[in-house]
Amino acid sequence: MLRTRTISAKPKRDVKWYLVDAEGKVLGRLASQIAKVLRGKHVPTFTPHVDMGFGVIVINAEKIKVTGKKLDDKMYYRHSGYIGGLKVRSLRQMLERNPERVITHAVWGMLPKNRLGRKLFRRLKVYAGPDHPHKAQKPEPLEIEL
């Protein structure tokens, strides 16, 4: 009689870094692919409750694309906790002020909301321009499939 065994991956200590160029990429599709890599779903040994040991560096965040009328229709809300403390910004304003936050906000929405998700989110580094300080991690370029 044959027995099949379920293999559960162990947490990785070393992190494999990927470099993603966001220039000309659509925001939602880019964010879903980044979340997939951070979770480790792109490898055959994916285990849902384990940190698979991947990090993503995103450059050129200011050059992303969005479809439709999202530049003016999509709103980002923040609240200070005080009465009348609601702050509302459109996607166009967010891209002008801090384009990194647009991508981090989109990726955070696609990660699990628990300890593992917070740990994975810390491995996402987003930069507005083409330069990044992570040369020592030797990131491999990652082509995003759209």
- Give CA–CA dist 134/103, Å, rounded: 18
Residue 79 domain-assigned (yes or no): no
Residue 29 domain-assigned (yes or no): yes
- The CATH number given to whatever domain includes residue 121 is 3.90.1180.10
Residue 39 belongs to domain spanning: 16-66+99-131
Residue 86 domain-assigned (yes or no): no
- What are the tens digits of pLDDT across the range 112-141? 999 999 999 999 999 999 999 999 999 999
Residue 124 domain-assigned (yes or no): yes
Longest Cα pair distance anywhere in the chain, in angstroms? 69
How far the first Cα of the chain sits from its last, in Å, is 44
List, in order, residues 6 or more apart from 3 with CB less than 8 Å away: none
- Give CA–CA dist 13/83, Å, rounded: 45
Half-sphere exposure of 118 (CA within 13 A, CB side): 3
Residue 10 domain-assigned (yes or no): no
Residue 103 domain-assigned (yes or no): yes
- pLDDT of the residue at 13: 83
- pLDDT of the residue at 6: 78
- What are the tens digits of pLDDT across the range 16-60? 999 999 999 999 999 999 999 999 999 988 999 999 999 999 999
Total of domains in the chain: 1
Residue 43 domain-assigned (yes or no): yes
Burial class (CB in 10 A: 0-12, 13-18, 19+), 103: buried
Residue 81 domain-assigned (yes or no): no
